[in-house]
């Protein structure tokens, strides 16, 4: 099977980008990164991409007169790189409905909660504030509403009584690094489709009490 071409969009640290770089380095992984785009100059994620020998582009939203112009530039770079799938990996800009529709079902995001709960920013603070017993992370197709769209893969983690936002974020990040490559592998293997705004994964077994991602091989 031909390798799925990924554009990875970042704004900062890039640890999820790193998990995709590491996955793609495995010979049997059915995807490759063709471009890494950051909307912020000088971030750690760009360093990670350089180290891996990947092409990078900075498209600084502040240099554009409006969102539309920024997104046109984004679109041109992604298309020019020949990407099949756009992976938002800590990309902290909201995308307009126009952009999202242009990449319908070819645009995925990772979010550090069990969506649809706890959308937006300061997720771990909100989870602790709510007294939730579990949190986790979600990889989903992007739709115009923030942090919404068909869910591809999730992982749950327990919330401990003595958790701080940082300790919870660290426990969840470990799972993010597991499920983002998993979601990409499932898509790249042609096992994922969207039907009536729900994701169907060929060959997935029934959910095991919701604790472990059912799609894992
Ligand atoms: C990750 O925890 C990711 O889930 C979150 O930003 C962090 C980026 O870390 N994304 C969002 O909150 C998007 N709504 P990274 O730069 O080390 O991958």
Residues 141 and 87 in one domain: no
Measured distance CA(49)–CA(43) in Å, rounded: 10
Q: Which residues span the domain enclosing 69? A: 1-103
For the segment 63-107, what is each residue's pLDDT rounded down to a tens digit?
Answer: 999 999 999 999 999 999 999 999 999 999 999 999 999 999 999
Is 142 buried (19+), middle (13-18) or exposed (0-12) by CB count in 10 A? Answer: buried
Tell me, in angstroms, the distance from the centre of ligand 1 to residue 24's CA: 19
Nearest protein Cα to ligand 1, atom 7: 90
Residues 200 and 124 in one domain: yes
Give the domain CATH number at 165: 3.40.50.170
**Phi then psi for 63, rounded to 5 degrees?**
-90, 5
pTM score, whole prediction: 0.94
Ligand 1: residues with CB < 6 A are: 10, 12-16, 45, 89-90, 110-112, 147, 173, 176
Residues 120 and 147 in one domain: yes
Residues 119 and 217 in one domain: yes
Among 77, 103, 129, give the residue marking a domain's end.
103
For 143, half-sphere exposure in the C-beta direction (CA atoms, 13 angstrom radius) is 11
Among 83, 103, 123, give the residue marking a domain's end.
103
Can you say how many angstroms the Cα of residue 205 is from the centroid of all Cα atoms in its chain?
23
As annotated, the active-site residues are 111
Total tally of structural domains belonging to the chain? 2
Residues 45 and 130 in one domain: no
Residues 114 and 217 in one domain: yes
Task: Supply the pLDDT for residue 208.
Answer: 42
Residues 160 and 213 in one domain: yes
Is residue 123 within 8 Å of residue 176, measured between CB atoms? Answer: no
Instruction: State which residues of the chain have pLDDT below 50.
Output: 208-212, 214-215, 217
Residues 129 and 88 in one domain: no
């Amino acid at each position: 099977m031909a390798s799925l071409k990924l554009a990875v969009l970042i704004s900062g640290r890039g640890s999820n980008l790193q998990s995709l770089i590491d996955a793609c380095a495995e010979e049997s992984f059915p995807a490759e990164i063709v471009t890494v785009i950051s909307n912020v100059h000088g971030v750690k994620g760009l360093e990670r991409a350089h180290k891996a020998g990947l092409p990078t582009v900075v498209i600084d939203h502040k240099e554009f007169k409006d969102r539309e112009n920024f997104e046109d530039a984004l679109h041109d770079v992604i298309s020019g790189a020949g990407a099949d799938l756009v992976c938002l990996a800590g990309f902290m800009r909201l995308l307009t409905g126009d952009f999202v529709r242009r990449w319908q079902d070819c645009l995925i995001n990772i979010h550090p909660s069990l969506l649809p709960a706890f959308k937006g920013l300061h997720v771990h603070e909100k989870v602790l504030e709510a007294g939730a017993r579990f949190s986790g992370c979600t990889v989903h197709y992007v739709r115009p509403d923030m942090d919404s769209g068909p869910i591809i893969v999730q992982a749950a983690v327990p919330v401990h009584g003595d958790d701080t936002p940082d300790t919870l974020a660290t426990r969840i990040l470990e799972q993010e690094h597991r499920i983002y490559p998993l979601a990409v592998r499932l898509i790249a293997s042609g096992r994922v489709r969207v039907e009536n705004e729900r994701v169907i994964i060929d060959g997935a077994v029934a959910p095991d009490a919701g604790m472990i991602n059912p799609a894992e091989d």
